[in-house]
Amino acid sequence: MKTCQEIIVPPRSGRAFTVRAGQTVRIVDLEGRQPGDLVVFKADDLAVKMSQARTRVESRKVAATQGDSLWTNTFPPEVMLTIVGDTHGSHDLLYPPCCRYALEKRFGVSRDGCLENLAKALEAWGVKPHEIPDPLNLFFSVSVDDVGGMKVCEPMSKAGSSIDLQAKMDCIVAVATCSVPFPAKEHTGYRITIGETSSL
């Protein structure tokens, strides 16, 4: 992969960037055990964006890994990004982004969450917080029991874990490093590399 651009997402922050069809985005969890959120918009029509529910149904899974795709909210749906590499193995497709409301209510901390950080990163494109779709939850796992109960699992990704997503259309991608406190874990950052690949 020939590198075109490198972006650092600091702890508890968001970044957004354009990706052309055929390019691959590699996201590296630099120090490990750091969940994050990824959302996607179609570059020339921001009303077209990732649908977390459509993505679940197309793969019939509540988490994504290599070989799975992120789908649009359109009818018929289209593939936006396909996961072409994944050293971690599972990224949740059930949870919404964390936000100031959830952090205060559930964790008793007063700070911006992924929603606010994604919104800040997407400000330049005029995207409002309520227009941000539910994400692909990077390096984050949720278990579901026989009666549908959900439980957040402790983050388990190793330092240097990575996921590669290849764009199937021109996109705006936004990524946030999560602000939810986990026991005995400092918040850490991601490195994102956008590279050229040979073909779609």
**Interatomic CA distance for residues 29 and 61, integer angstroms:** 23
Pattern 53-92, Zn ion, x by CB under 5 A: ----------------------------------------
Closest to 47 in 3D by CA, of 13, 75, 74, 25: 74
* Residues near Zn ion (CB under 5 A), total: 3
| Cα 24–Cα 9–Cα 16 angle in degrees, nearest 5 | 60
Site residues (CB under 5 A) for Zn ion, limited to 139-168: none
Does position 114 interact with Zn ion (CB under 5 A)? The reply is yes
- The encoded tokens of residue 193 equal 């590399």
**Interatomic CA distance for residues 185 and 188, integer angstroms:** 9
- Residue from 98, 136, 167, 194 touching Zn ion (CB under 5 A): that is 98
Per CB under 5 A, the segment of 38-46, 87-95, 174-182, 189-197 that binds Zn ion is 174-182
Residues of this chain that interact with Zn ion (CB under 5 A) are 98, 114, 178
